[in-house]
Amino acid sequence: MIFIKPTLFRLLAAFALAFAATASAQTGPQPKLKTVPLTAGMHVIQAELAITPEQQQIGMMFRRTMGANEAMLFIEETASVRCFWMRNTFIPLSIAFLADDGTIVNIADMQPQSDQSHCSAQPVRYALEMNMGWFAKRGIKAGSRIRGGPFGK
């Protein structure tokens, strides 16, 4: 018989509970995040803000739908080359990598449930995910500017 001291038992139980909560959080979509309105020309976008590492790690994973003008804006503290992939993401998405002033650096189309990396062409702090083709259908491309939120007017 193995005897575990009560304090060690409580510590192990707390760790197991925390691990179980973390593991279960990644098997379903995260709740809707705080949103901010952005604009791309005359088009208004409601962008959820993915700011914390946990929010960014889950992103759009496990979601089945996204509204026509909804998006997720990933915000980092420092600029670097950002790469995204689509494991456990069921919605085809386009991602725009944005400079600090909201100028689109490059856009990539991403297929659902793929481990293929899509990276920014230069160091950026922001990435904006929308339904696949949203940017192309509106003539928004590299050099276009997103306004609102962290990008000002």
Contact 131, 92 (CB under 8 A): yes
Burial pattern 5-16, b for ≥16 Cβ within 10 A else e, equals eeeeeeeeeeee
- In this predicted structure, what is the pLDDT of residue 28? 80
CA–CA separation, 115 vs 110, rounded Å? 10
Whether the model clears a pTM of 0.85, i.e. scores above it, the answer is no
Domain residue ranges of the chain, discontinuous segments joined by +: 35-151
| Residue that has been written with the tokens 């007017």 in this structure | 153
- Using CB atoms within 10 A of its CB, is residue 77 exposed (0-12), middle (13-18) or buried (19+)? exposed
- In this predicted structure, what is the pLDDT of residue 26? 59
Q: For the beta carbon of residue 70, count every other beta carbon within 10 angstroms.
A: 17
What integer is the mean pLDDT of 105-133? 98
If pLDDT is split at 50, 70 and 90, which confidence band does 29 have?
A: confident
- In this predicted structure, what is the pLDDT of residue 103? 98
Who's near 137: CB < 8 A, 6+ residues apart?
Answer: none
CA–CA separation, 126 vs 78, rounded Å? 9
What is the residue-averaged pLDDT of the chain? 88
3-class DSSP assignment, residue 63:
coil
Architecture of domain 35-151: Sandwich (2.60)
If pLDDT is split at 50, 70 and 90, which confidence band does 56 have?
A: very high
Amino acid of residue 140: I
